[in-house]
Chains A and B, each alone.
Chain A
């Protein structure tokens, strides 16, 4: 049982490049979400999903796309990276109706 895994751990991009941050969980959780963490601002919700084929926007969705084709995976796509997207990104998952969310180890992204 690996829990929530994220790849890569670190990534450096140039402005305008695209990339996908991977998130996977092996706990059969229905709910998955993406947060970004910036100094002094806590964690802010980007997108979330309550099940395969269902996604919705959080507090800061602009510049990010998500899809949920399987229960296990919830990738986050940056189509054209901007320096403002430099941040640490965390994926989290939980059972619907249960309170505890499990966070992955994070991906540190730098956009030059």
Chain B
């Protein structure tokens, strides 16, 4: 049972374009929604995260949009760069221990 559904599976964007990755969740108990970035051969690293009390969070070129009623959230990467080429995972968590449920991942390729 996949509680966090992520799309698309892969994404190719031109340099300078906008990359958009979407996630949907089912469990309304989730109260923490992070995005992780993973480069080949490395562990995931936290990119940006949001809590359900706000609808948007921006950090540099990265923005999370959150729609609580639709149970959806998305990652927007503005002015995408070749160095952004990586696999991106959305996740959802609950509780102080932050047991995360991950989406299936999106492989982003930014063409020069």
Contacts and interface: CB of A to CB of B under 8 A. Distances in A.
A48 B89 contact: no
A40 B10 CA distance: 11
A64 to B, nearest CB: 16
A99 B102 contact: no
Interface residues of A, number: 26
A43 B89 contact: yes
A50 interface: yes
Given A42-B102, A105-B43, A50 B89 contact: no
Contact of B43 (A33, A45, A90, A96): A90
Interface string A44-75: 11001010000000110000000000000000
Interface residues of B, number: 26
Given A90-B44, A99-B34, A103-B43, A44 B97 contact: no
Which of B46, B49, B103 has the most chain A CB atoms closer than 10 A to its own CB? B46
A100 interface: yes
A105 B21 CA distance: 24
Contact of B98 (A4, A42, A44, A99): A99
A58 B49 CA distance: 22
Interface string A81-112: 00000000010101011011101111000000
A46 to B, nearest CB: 11
Interface string A11-51: 00000000000000000000101010000111111001010
Contacts of B105: 40, 42
B42 A48 contact: no
Contact of A94 (B9, B89, B91, B98): B98
Contacts of A99: 32, 34, 49, 93, 98
Interface of A: 4, 31, 33, 35, 40-45, 48, 50, 58-59, 90, 92, 94, 96-97, 99-101, 103-106
9 contacts: A41-B104, A43-B100, A43-B102, A59-B101, A90-B44, A96-B96, A97-B96, A99-B32, A103-B45
